[in-house]
């Protein structure tokens, strides 16, 4: 019988990374430039490995091959096969990330034989004065954009949004964006690693080389319209489900609870993932207990219809699934 699955994080050094994933979530990295923790991934060469129960040591794609729709949902398996459709990350921006844009499914398939990259961010932590770049502040023409790029002034065209813990942003393919210095986010995205970097502050690596820019590729996918309401507005509810983002690729809710709650998933034909961002709790599934700590990401197989979440104290988690309704 399948059960709630825990995975070994895949830790990635980045030129802009820091130490907050260690201090906030106890990620076991020796580096002081830990930029990303891939919490749940079926991406090629970065497949998550199970750490609990009798399936420990198996990769996520191996489990999909064995359990198919029982693990991820019948309709999801019919559409994606052995590919897990989503990628879950924790990101620490100790320095500004590059300004970038992602292609949608059509362009990504044509150019890279990949899925596109629509994503969302939940701000886990933000230093005072920290900002995110989310789209253009006003409608922009292609020519004006290229002129600003040539003059090193592209930042002047973009919208800088002050952020605090708990802010949520939906980042569809085509939206220019960047995570600013001092921000830690939980990111839920399509399973893709295609990024078009359009500006990188002229930073150099240890060898003195600037990172590659993708100016021409980005031009065909950028949405030049103003991003007028970039922040997702929501009212957090205690011991109830708070909807955050719903799109063709994923649905994300927030669960904030300080007493036991029951979750029922019989009506959705999908796996469910929990990203625990604050607090610790226990999953009770048929009398079997799974301990979940702050920073853990858990995969609930599609075959599990009902379970209970029992908190130690107050817990905040993101609940994610694919809604095929």
Q: Which residues, at least 6 apart from 253, have a Cβ–Cβ distance to it below 8 Å?
A: 241, 242, 243, 244, 318, 319, 320
Nearest to 75 by CA among 253, 268, 245: 268
Sign of the C-alpha dihedral computed for residues 229, 118, 109 and 99 taken in this order: positive
Question: How far is the first Cα of the chain from the last one, in angstroms, to the nearest whole number?
Answer: 26
Q: Which helix (H) or strand (E) holds 149?
A: helix 142-150
Catalytic option among 142, 197, 211, 263: 197
> What secondary structure letter does DSSP report for 233?
P
Distance of alpha carbon 27 from alpha carbon 38, whole angstroms: 11
Known catalytic residue at 256: no
On whether the CB atoms of residues 172 and 121 are closer than 8 A, the answer is no
Of 117, 144, 119, 146, nearest to 320 by C-alpha is 119
The residues carrying an active-site annotation are 197
């Amino acid at each position: 019988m399948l059960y709630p699955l825990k995975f070994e994080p895949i830790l990635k050094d980045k030129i802009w990374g820091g130490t907050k994933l260690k201090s906030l979530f106890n990620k076991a990295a020796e580096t002081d430039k830990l930029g990303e923790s891939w919490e749940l991934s079926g991406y090629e060469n970065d497949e998550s490995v199970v750490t609990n129960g009798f399936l420990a040591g198996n990769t996520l794609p191996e489990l999909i091959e064995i359990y198919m729709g029982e693990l991820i949902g019948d309709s999801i398996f019919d559409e994606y096969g052995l590919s897990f459709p989503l990628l879950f990350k924790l990101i620490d921006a100790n320095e500004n990330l590059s300004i970038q844009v992602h292609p949608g499914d059509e362009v990504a398939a044509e150019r890279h034989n990949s899925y596109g990259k629509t994503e969302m961010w939940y701000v886990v932590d933000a230093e005072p004065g920290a900002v995110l770049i989310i789209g253009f502040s006003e409608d922009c023409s292609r020519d004006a954009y290229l002129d600003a790029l040539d003059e090193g002034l592209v930042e002047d065209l973009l919208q800088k949004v002050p952020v605090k813990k708990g802010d949520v942003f939906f980042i569809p393919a085509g939206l220019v964006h960047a995570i600013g210095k001092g921000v830690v986010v939980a990111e839920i995205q399509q399973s893709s690693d295609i990024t078009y970097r359009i500006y990188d502050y002229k930073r150099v690596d240890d060898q003195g080389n600037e990172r590659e820019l993708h100016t021409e590729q980005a031009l065909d996918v950028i949405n030049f319209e103003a991003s007028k309401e970039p922040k997702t507005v929501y009212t957090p509810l205690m011991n109830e489900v708070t909807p955050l983002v719903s799109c063709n690729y994923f649905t994300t809710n927030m669960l904030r609870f300080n007493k036991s709650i029951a979750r029922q998933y019989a009506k959705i034909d999908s796996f469910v993932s929990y990203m625990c961002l604050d607090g610790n709790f226990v999953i009770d599934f048929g009398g079997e207990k799974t301990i979940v700590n702050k920073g853990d990401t858990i995969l609930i197989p599609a075959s599990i219809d009902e379970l209970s979440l029992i908190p130690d104290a107050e817990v905040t988690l993101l609940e994610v699934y694919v809604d095929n309704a």
